[in-house]
Structure 1
Amino acid sequence: MTTPHPVPSAVPYAVVPYAPGAGPSAWPDELRRIARPEVLERWGAVDRTPHAPRLVAVPGGGGWAAAALVTARPGTAYAKIVDAVGDVPAAARAVVAYAEEQRLVQVVWEGWTVSGEDAAAAGFAPLRPPLPGGTDEPAGPRTGYVRWTAGEGVAEPAYYRQSTHFSCGAVTALLAQVRAGVVRPESLDREAELTLWRDATNFPACEPVGLGVAVRRRWPSSSVEVFLDTEEPVLLDHLDGDEREWRAVLQRASRADADRLGVPVHGRRLSLAELREAVEAPGRCRHVLLLVSLATMQGFDVPHWVLCHGTVPGAVVVEDPWFNTGAGETWVDAHLLPVADASLDAMSLLGGEVRVRGAVLVDGG
């Protein structure tokens, strides 16, 4: 066990790395004495290695008085409590102190075992349960909780998980309009998701201009602007020959549609400062649909749309409509997700030698 750190709550703690591939039998004896077998079994059921799993342990009684399994996506500014065992309030205080020491802006808590009362007593607010999705994959716990450690937090939108591997652009646009009050939450379902994807797709991905055009067609009263610092076709690096060319034809057609519909296509890069200014605008319900690579957060370089809808000191808060259950993620990881400014700036530059940024700014009114 590492040397405990004194914390403001006067609860000492130690951070103990989680051994890759460790199952319940490999957990420390100090943990096995305070955690139920079914909890340890769930902890070891998936390989959480990509999210740097660690135990935040509170010493006491000749061993550990409390412990929490903590994970987080790389490049982000949060910590997630999977479970807290033993003296749960002490474990929660220790994790919050650890997060503050690491200059993280948020701690979330999956509601596998914690009660709403215990979470509230530790300063955590309940998260809205996710909207019903169109996928049969397990979505995680029915409840989750959040505590902001920097700033005042942001208003919580609805969360919806995309039902395919390619409809993230459509889902982010729909979530933006739900948050703006243009779309009713209960109408966001698989039919709505795939219908908008069909209007926006470049087969199978949604490129920025096509997505902006689809949003304007669907909601003519919403202001839409596209930022893309290239005139060349995008998201086609993995294709060649005819497979690349016919998609390029569709992208040129989308630019012509944007011109006819009055959707501005700015041939420059939306800066991070401009992005923050857009979503921070007082009295407005503006959102940025941002194209990012999942290389940092998930370990594979795949283009993916996220919804930027708020800011806190040092981070932009996004909704990610996809999460990786194979790495132990649940909707709690993808909802109200703070991404560090520098990380978001880097992960939103896509391409090969020439890096470009694609963004769609939507003002729902």
Structure 2
Amino acid sequence: MPPPRDTSVKSTVIPFDPAAPNARLRRLVHHDVLERWRAADRSAHAPRIVAVPGGDGDDWAAAALVTARPHTAYLKIVDAVGDVPTAVEAVVSHARDRGLAQVKWEGWTVNPEVAALGFVPLSVPLAQDAESSGPGAGHVRWLHDGEVTEPPYYGQTTHFTCGAVTALVAQAHAGELARESFDRRAELTLWRDATNFPACEPVGLGVAVRRAWPSSPVTVLLDTERPVLLDQYPQDEQEWRAVLQRASREEAGRIGVPIDSHPLSMTTVRSALGRREHVLLLVSLADMQGFDVPHWVLCHGAVPGALVIEDPWTHTAAGDTWVDAHLLPVPDLSLDAMSTISPDRIRGAVIIGRTEA
């Protein structure tokens, strides 16, 4: 349960301009911290300064740099400076005013005040791509009643293993995969069984999950019978990948993986989560990251107004880190829009049920 509701803190919220920081901000922020803020192009994540005026009204007593992926339901504190508790209270108050589900805090500097301010530590990643960078610690504070259990975070170590990683995270969260067995070998082994070279399409991924965990019920949701995720390839390369997708459909029938062709809805996703199932969801990254490419995420929790996902990929150049991608709340309507894949306009998912006795 979250701590009692914060007292509203009077604050000012302004855009962060890395080229010309506010004079009051420069007087408050240490040079090293400001350089970290400037090291990435955070413009796609709406960087803002939440500032609390000082007693004299001329300077700021506290400030925080906050960012967030577009079309999501959280704020991330990159750093809080000055009177840190007051800065954090101002951010939480601002997040509540916006109706958000969560505030996160990157742990660039570990602060003993974190726990007292209602934040709990996030489990550090099991793995990340070598190109990824991020803090060694992170914290989260939910702004609603209830609990979302935390799966392990694993950052995909290649550009193409997102489908395999989401399945492995789901099974680790369900207790079907020991965390010590969740490594790069497991990632690449499952991808090899699921891939349509190099991507994982829904039927092939569902079949691979069922083969890896025969006692886990698996349902594929895909609203077309045509081969999918092939438009970017030349015709001759589409043809052999289509052959593999047809083979996956035949294998699904043989091993008992149903393929549901009804259009996917967020109501379906919430119903599955209510049954403590996991939903591997195919989305486009256009809204969250600006890249209209297909990508797999894991839906594993629900809060008022948002679904909670694990995203195994981060955009380091935009200041995006594992703290953003882990326990990420996305409004239902936003996730619904993301789950329509262009240009085919398909929707696809794999639901992994609870293990059969």
What is the match of residue 103 of structure 2?
107
Shift of 1:8: 5.9
User: Which of 65, 70, 76 matches 2:66?
Assistant: 70
What is the match of residue 219 of structure 1?
213
Describe the SS at the equivalent of 2:75. strand
Contact kept, 8 Å, 1:162 with 1:171, in 2: the verdict is yes
What is the match of residue 130 of structure 1?
125
Hey, what's the Cα distance between the residues in 2 that align with 1:326 and 1:152? 34
Shift of 1:10: 4.3
Which amino acid is 1:49 matched to? S
Contact kept, 8 Å, 2:127 with 2:156, in 1: the verdict is no
What is the match of residue 291 of structure 1?
282
Deviations along 1:204-261, one digit per CA (max 9) or x if unpaired, are 1000000000001111011000000000011112123111111111100000000000
User: Which of 11, 16, 20 matches 1:13?
Assistant: 11
Query: Kindly, what percent of the aligned residue pairs are identical?
Result: 64
Hey, what's the Cα distance between the residues in 2 that align with 1:9 and 1:231? 54
What is the match of residue 141 of structure 1?
135
Q: CA RMSD in A?
A: 1.3
Which amino acid is 2:289 matched to? Q
What is the match of residue 339 of structure 2?
348
Runs of 4+ with >4 A deviation = none
Describe the SS at the equivalent of 1:119. helix
Contact kept, 8 Å, 2:6 with 2:89, in 1: the verdict is no
What is the match of residue 4 of structure 1?
none
Hey, what's the Cα distance between the residues in 1 that align with 2:6 and 2:206? 48
The normalised TM-score by structure 1 is: 0.93
What is the match of residue 41 of structure 1?
35
Hey, what's the Cα distance between the residues in 2 that align with 1:144 and 1:290? 25
Hey, what's the Cα distance between the residues in 1 that align with 2:240 and 2:77? 47
Deviations along 1:61-89, one digit per CA (max 9) or x if unpaired, are 42100000000000100000000000000
Structure 2: segments with no counterpart, 5+ residues: none
Contact kept, 8 Å, 1:131 with 1:160, in 2: the verdict is yes
Which amino acid is 2:302 matched to? T
Hey, what's the Cα distance between the residues in 1 that align with 2:292 and 2:144? 30
Shift of 1:194: 0.6
Shift of 1:269: 1.8
1:326-365 equivalence runs, <5 A: 326-352=317-343, 355-365=345-355
Which amino acid is 2:280 matched to? L
Hey, what's the Cα distance between the residues in 2 that align with 1:138 and 1:39? 19
User: Which of 298, 303, 312 matches 1:312?
Assistant: 303
User: Which of 228, 233, 253 matches 2:227?
Assistant: 233
What is the match of residue 206 of structure 1?
200
Shift of 1:122: 1.1
Hey, what's the Cα distance between the residues in 2 that align with 1:292 and 1:32? 40
User: Which of 300, 307, 312 matches 2:291?
Assistant: 300
Which amino acid is 2:351 matched to? L
1:157-306 equivalence runs, <5 A: 157-281=151-275, 284=276, 286-306=277-297
Hey, what's the Cα distance between the residues in 2 that align with 1:231 and 1:351? 16
Contact kept, 8 Å, 2:6 with 2:92, in 1: the verdict is no
Structure 1: segments with no counterpart, 5+ residues: 1-6
Contact kept, 8 Å, 1:151 with 1:313, in 2: the verdict is no
Which amino acid is 1:169 matched to? G
Contact kept, 8 Å, 1:172 with 1:305, in 2: the verdict is yes
CA distance 1:333–1:208, change in 2 (3 Å) = same
Which amino acid is 1:258 matched to? A
The count of residues paired between Structure 1 and Structure 2 equals 349
Hey, what's the Cα distance between the residues in 2 that align with 1:29 and 1:90? 20
Hey, what's the Cα distance between the residues in 2 that align with 1:209 and 1:10? 50
Contact kept, 8 Å, 1:177 with 1:364, in 2: the verdict is no
The normalised TM-score by structure 2 is: 0.95
